[in-house]
A and B are shown apart, each in its own frame.
Chain A
Amino acid sequence: MPDPLIAQLKVLVVETLRLEDVTPAEIPDDEPLIGGGLSLDSIDALELVVRLEKEFGIKIASSEESRTALASIKTLAAFIRERADPSRLPS
């Protein structure tokens, strides 16, 4: 059974960054989001952080936190689970 938060995050990454050549299913759970196969730059990272903050009501306050959060989809899901109000997470 796929993790619903991971599935939601993959859709959110593709939508937010308007990735035309990538489908959510093609984003690996364990690959780095920035500097990995998605070819995202620092402005993409900023856009993703702003969208995640809005979507889940969390705060990513430093580059260290962002590095941890955006290390991969899996770490991002763990980061959000730790900080977000459970009511904002998919069931």
Chain B
Amino acid sequence: MTPPETAPSTPPRNPGPSWGYRFMRLCDRIVPEPLFRPARAVGTWIALLNMPVQRRHSRDYLRIVFRREPTHREIFRHFFAFEEVLMLKLRVANGRPHRGRLADGAPDFHRFLDSAKPALLGTFHVGHSDLIGFILGGQEKRRVSMIRQRVANSHDTEKLGQLFSQWVSFIWVNEGESLLFALKEAVSAGDSIALKCDRLEFSAKTEAFDFLGARRAFPFTIYHLALIFDLPVLLTVAVPGAPGESIVHSAPRWTPDASLARAQNIVRARAHFQGFLRQVETLLRAEPYWWFNFLPLNPEVSAA
């Protein structure tokens, strides 16, 4: 990751009105869900109409996944899926019980939970993945430092951070050069580090991988950090399960091999990341609306 040259005086903000999160939390307390959910759907239509840029990116992404032009209703469903996860985060931040359950075939993640050793946890803006760090803290009592971009109105994240402050802390990627030292301190303190591996912003190291029908650039910093700190990498995404539950999918862990040259470790790391991207793509092909990057899809990289 690359800290900005100078920290911006005002952080970026999520779209929507400044009072939006508080209003949603208030309505959630006083409006019954059978009324509130349709109201949120109407709100999502309004948001959709007022966010032409995000709408375009949603359309571009869905066109690739569906291999045809998406309908307005499908774009709405994409927006609404995101809204429902945002609502879930606000509810969890308000203290609603929520549990994580490991999907079958994730023995390495099980081993990570059973051990006291830290790891680098790579995740994506997919489904319930924003909750993984909080699940690890609140449910598994693991110290996690989450690398996030601070935005002016990330009310959901701030509330979650307060609720799980005993276990979860934040390292803000867009708050200047202290990022790298905060990261070093967190590793020294034995924390696991959670970082997103799908958005290129602030990523110092990128590589090209096959994803959604093309070679696309993805952040690759996590593996360089693994080599620097000699920590394993666990890639995970969480998706909706039964009510009150997220299902955590994880790939086999990747561990730096000290007996190999760095270049060989990087080759192994590329194969590891590609393997997990295939897993993510399979999930998205089945549930396209879980992709929560309303940004340009990772850019295509020419084979040359």
A residues lining the B interface (CB < 8 Å): 18, 41-43, 45-47, 49-50, 61-63, 66-67
Contact = CB atoms under 8 A, between A and B. Distances in A.
A47 B177 contact: no
B224 interface: yes
B92 to A, nearest CB: 33
Given A47-B228, A50-B229, A42 B178 contact: no
A42 to B, nearest CB: 5
Contacts of A41: 2, 204-205
Contacts of A42: 1-3, 177, 179-180, 204
* Ranked 7 nearest A-B pairs via Cβ: A63-B177, A41-B204, A43-B204, A46-B180, A42-B2, A47-B228, A43-B224
A43 B177 contact: no
Given A42-B2, A63-B178, A47 B224 contact: yes
Contact of A50 (B184, B205, B221, B262): B184
B184 A43 contact: no
Contacts of B179: 42
A63 B204 contact: no
B12 interface: no
B283 interface: no
B159 to A, nearest CB: 29
A50 B180 CA distance: 11
B66 interface: no
Contact of A46 (B176, B178, B184, B262): B184
Interface residues of B, number: 19
A43 B1 CA distance: 7
A68 B93 CA distance: 41
A54 to B, nearest CB: 11
Contacts of A18: 262
17 contacts: A18-B262, A41-B2, A42-B177, A42-B179, A42-B204, A43-B2, A43-B204, A43-B224, A43-B225, A46-B183, A46-B225, A50-B184, A50-B228, A50-B229, A62-B178, A66-B180, A67-B177
Given A50-B228, A63-B176, A43 B181 contact: no
Contacts of A47: 224, 228
B229 A66 contact: no
Contacts of B177: 42, 63, 66-67
A49 to B, nearest CB: 7
A62 B180 contact: no
A23 B263 CA distance: 19
B206 to A, nearest CB: 11
Nearest to A60: B181
Contacts of A46: 180, 183-184, 225, 228
A28 to B, nearest CB: 23
B110 to A, nearest CB: 30
A63 B180 contact: yes
Interface string B181-210: 101100000000000000000001100000
Given A42-B1, A62-B178, A63-B178, A49 B184 contact: yes
Given A50-B228, A50-B229, A43 B176 contact: no
A62 B177 CA distance: 9
A53 B224 CA distance: 18
B271 to A, nearest CB: 20
Given A62-B178, A63-B180, A43 B221 contact: yes
